[in-house]
Amino acid sequence: MDRREWLKKFGGASALFLASPSLMSCRDRANLEIRKQTVVGTNPKFAKVAFVKTSNRAEGVKRGIELLKFRDEFKEKNLFIKPNYNSAHETPGSTHNDILRTTMDELRELNAESFTIGDRSGMGDTNAVMREKDIFAIAKDAKAKTIVFDDLKEEDWEAIQYKNSHWQKGFAIPKPVLKADSVVNLCCLKTHQYGGHFTLSLKNSVGLAAKRVPNNSYNFMSELHSSRNQRRMIAEINAAYKPSLVVLDGVEAFTDGGPHRGTTVKSEVVLVGTDRVAIDAIGVAILRHFGTTSEVQKGKIFEQEQIAQAVKLGVGISSPEKIEFLTDDKESADYVNSIKKQFV
């Protein structure tokens, strides 16, 4: 894509809406419509979420995936894995390596074809963060590819705009993410002191969006973090893709501060599902269960701006009644009953 095309996409007054293929340019339709046309629209009727009480991350991932009873969903699929490498701080500051390794192992057992691990760090140099986390070595051992979004060229980014979006000039997502057969979202359980209020699966998707695109000086992240609509804008990024798996590591959580440091509690849970709204709603309920910030504690969970905007865009379920909790032992079931009280 040349600079003129970028100016046309990001500088023009017209906007595109993924739910309305008729409003999309031919170029966008070719790249996005087939994969994205069902992302925005009708909310799912229900969402199954595996809820595993555990202090063992590998065990939590294994049990969670088993509870969901996948069949051929990952067979021969090229999977893009989006972890939380905003920084290299210890979990829940970043994705724990046990979560990454075990997720790949379990999906390989489900006959996944290949893995690509990629991210953009918001608080440091992504290459340095991934080196400190030993991700390149882990990827090599797993025969997985890695992508550092900071190193992508201009033509490797796809411009995305929505009608009535809160993004002034849209945003950009890496083409390798959009071209993958499936996306796997590996997130943590924590609050966010810089305007997001909480950072779970929806907020983890911000790492998919460009800070800057080569040959374009516009700083998309400055716009995001200075906007009063930040939480709605976070939800809008999520309408650009649909994950086939979400794993939330809640073995430990930050109940304040975040995303890199905060007050840590042993929340002892791993959530596994496919619906980001359901995962995040449960995550917020867990934070409330342990006592959290006034912003996260305020109002009904589905009125939280990230979640409410995601519901509006059809990213996930529309109410807590549509969550089907899956458990495999009494400890997990009892924990679920305690968490459900936060939805009242």
pLDDT reported for residue 34: 27
Tens of pLDDT along 243-273? 999 999 999 999 999 999 999 999 999 999 9
The amino acid sitting at 297 is Q
Tens of pLDDT along 103-148? 999 999 999 999 999 999 999 899 999 999 999 999 999 999 999 9
Tens of pLDDT along 273-298? 999 999 999 999 999 999 999 999 99
Residue owning tokens 């070595």: 137
Q: CA-CA distance, 140 to 122, in Å (whole number)?
A: 24
Those residues whose C-beta lies under 8 Å from the C-beta of residue 187, and which sit 6 or more positions away, are 84, 95, 199, 200, 201, 203, 204, 246, 247, 248, 249, 279
Torsion of Cα atoms, 37 then 38 then 40 then 43, to 10°: 170
Section 199-217 average pLDDT: 97
| 323-326 and 245-254 beta bridge pairing | unpaired
The amino acid sitting at 138 is I
Closest CA to 100 of 24, 161, 201, 185: 185
Structure tokens at 108: 């390989």
CA dihedral over 47, 48, 51, 52, signed as positive or negative: negative
Q: What is the DSSP string of 223-279?
A: HHHH-TTHHHHHHHHHTT---SEEEEEEEEEESSS-SSS--EE---EEEEES-HHHH
| 197-198 and 264-265 beta bridge pairing | unpaired
Distances (CA, A) of 179 to 172, 176, 182, 240, 261: 14, 5, 8, 12, 34
Tens of pLDDT along 44-88? 999 999 999 999 999 999 999 999 999 999 999 999 999 999 999
Cβ burial, residue 138 (10 Å; 0-12/13-18/19+): middle
Cα 104 from chain centroid?
17
pLDDT at 11 over 60: no
pLDDT reported for residue 162: 87
pLDDT reported for residue 42: 84
pLDDT reported for residue 8: 57
Q: What is the DSSP string of 307-338?
A: HHHHHHTTSS-SSGGGEEEE-SSHHHHHHHHH
Tens of pLDDT along 179-198? 999 999 999 999 999 989 99
pLDDT reported for residue 2: 53
pLDDT at 4 over 60: no
pLDDT reported for residue 163: 87
Distances (CA, A) of 56 to 60, 83, 114, 248, 250: 6, 18, 26, 13, 10
pLDDT reported for residue 24: 32
Residue owning tokens 């997502």: 173
pLDDT reported for residue 265: 99
Tens of pLDDT along 142-170? 999 999 999 999 999 999 998 899 999 99
**DSSP state for residue 44 in the 8-state scheme:** P
Q: CA-CA distance, 231 to 173, in Å (whole number)?
A: 18
pLDDT reported for residue 293: 98
The torsion angles phi and psi of 79, rounded to 5 degrees, stand at: -105, 135
* 5: confidence class by pLDDT, cuts 50, 70, 90: low
Tens of pLDDT along 313-323? 999 999 999 99
Rounded to 10°, the helix 97-109/57-68 angle is 30
> Domain ranges in the chain?
44-343
Closest CA to 306 of 322, 284, 325: 284
CATH architecture of 44-343: 3-Layer(aba) Sandwich (3.40)
pLDDT cut 70: percent of the chain above it = 88
Residue-averaged pLDDT of the chain = 91
Exposed e or buried b per residue across 84-96, where buried means at least 16 C-beta atoms within 10 angstroms of its C-beta: bbbbbbebbbbbb
pLDDT reported for residue 16: 36
CB 162 within 8 A of CB 16: yes
